[in-house]
């Protein structure tokens, strides 16, 4: 099993630093100390380096070369400094942007949205793609459509996506939106088919311990809220799957939950926990939902923001300081299944992943130690001792006659 190095944000000497944590080992300590720029903080009891993109890249390369496994999930959720927040550009209101378009541009945008729906893309995807093209049209509202070229696309990405600090994920969505848009417009010099999406950032998922899950459930006093958390974790559900779950999708007799048209338009069946079943029945009897399992006011679909809000409060009451989202419960479900010895292929089916590579990320955070696997040398010596009727201890060191 690879030694684990944990990288965390650290404010020290009025600067942003990266704390380097590891289980004490002379060899590991020596290797860390040899990295250029590393220093020791006596007050924080940790090695650290200055936090910069260049240093982080060099540190990653150095640690990987040394055969270490790097846990940098804490860096992902580090709070942004006030200066970063202040400099971040707030996107303009989309209603205002739309109103400032010409009639022809508004018609083009509407036709593009219809084109996307004709391709049977999900409404959330249509909304995201439509917004990026709205931004593109607004930036080029003074440019005739016939004069568009790939230079206009590059200008848009530089002035909007890069300058407003959109995430890599949003950047990838933007490129996909533009690819569809240029195909829809079908202009000679306006073709984004060769544009490449930036590579995805690879982050390890945040995972709660099994004990922390119970702590959150016990800290949640509201019956509906407790049922929601229980369903999210015990079913490994996405928040959208929970919100769209209907009463007819529950099979209490067979202890099954039917997820219909989840991500990728796939149906799947997940098992219902024996522990969650009485809680769920109590919730249904008390709240008497009519259509959706979890209903908001007047029988409408429940709000995702409400779930995030009360989950945050429950974690606070449970004394959990990690950043926990509804998807964290899904990550925890998958990791705990892996730790319990469930085959990765079954976990893939339960989560509804199309590619096994997506599910494999949980092998990096599972705590099922490889050290539990017995060394073949130990097994061989033990077998030889069992075969030897004299019960003579088998040694691997040679005896020399002097």
**Residues with catalytic annotation?**
238, 263, 327, 330, 353, 362
- Give the C-alpha separation, 142 to 162, whole Å: 21
Kindly state the tokens that stand for 201.
């950032």
Residue reference for tokens 């098992």: 271
Residue of 136, 141, 181 whose CA lies nearest to 159: 136
H-type alpha helices, 236-325 = 239-243, 276-287, 304-317
DSSP one-letter code for 396: S
Please name the helix (run of DSSP H) or strand (run of DSSP E) that holds residue 326, with its range, or none: helix 326-339
**Cβ atoms within 10 A of the Cβ of 285, count?**
8
Alpha-carbon 246 to chain mean position: 26
Q: Are 189 and 148 in contact (CB under 8 A)?
A: yes
The phi and psi torsions of 136 (rounded to 5 degrees) equal -65, -50
């Amino acid at each position: 099993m690879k030694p684990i190095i944990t990288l965390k944000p650290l404010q020290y000497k009025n600067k942003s630093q990266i704390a380097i944590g590891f289980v004490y080992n002379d060899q590991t300590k020596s290797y860390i100390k040899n990295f250029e720029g590393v220093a020791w903080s006596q007050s924080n009891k940790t090695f650290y380096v200055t936090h910069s993109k260049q240093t982080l890249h060099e540190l990653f390369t150095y640690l990987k070369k040394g055969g270490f496994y790097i846990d940098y999930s804490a860096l992902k959720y580090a709070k942004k400094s006030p200066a970063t927040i202040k400099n971040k550009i707030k996107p303009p209101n989309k209603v205002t942007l739309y109103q400032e378009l010409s009639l022809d541009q508004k018609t083009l945008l509407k036709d593009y949205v219809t084109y996307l729906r004709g391709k049977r893309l999900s409404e959330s995807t249509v909304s995201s793609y439509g917004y990026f093209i709205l931004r593109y049209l607004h930036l080029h509202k003074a440019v005739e459509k016939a004069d568009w070229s790939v230079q206009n696309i590059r200008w848009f990405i530089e002035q909007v996506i890069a300058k407003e600090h959109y995430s890599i994920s949003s950047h990838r969505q933007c490129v996909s939106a533009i690819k569809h848009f240029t195909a829809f417009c079908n202009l000679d010099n306006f073709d984004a088919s060769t544009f490449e999406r930036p590579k995805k950032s690879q982050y390890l998922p945040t995972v709660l311990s099994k004990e922390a899950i119970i702590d959150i459930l016990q800290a949640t006093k509201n019956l509906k809220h407790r049922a929601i958390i229980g369903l999210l974790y015990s079913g490994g559900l996405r928040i959208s799957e929970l919100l769209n779950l209907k009463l007819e999708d529950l099979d209490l007799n067979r202890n099954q939950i039917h997820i219909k048209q989840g991500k990728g338009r796939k149906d799947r069946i997940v098992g219902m926990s024996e522990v969650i079943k009485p809680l769920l029945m109590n919730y249904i009897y008390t709240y008497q939902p009519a259509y959706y399992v979890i209903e908001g006011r007047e029988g409408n679909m429940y709000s995702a923001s409400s779930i995030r809000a009360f989950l945050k409060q429950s974690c606070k009451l449970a004394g959990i300081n990690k950043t926990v989202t509804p998807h964290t419960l899904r990550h925890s479900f998958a990791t705990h299944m892996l730790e319990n010895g469930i085959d990765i292929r079954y976990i893939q089916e339960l989560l509804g992943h199309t590619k096994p590579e997506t599910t494999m990320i949980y092998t990096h955070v599972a705590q099922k130690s490889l050290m539990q696997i017995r060394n073949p040398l130990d097994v061989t010596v033990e077998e030889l001792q069992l075969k030897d009727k004299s019960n003579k201890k088998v040694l691997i060191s040679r005896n020399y006659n002097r």
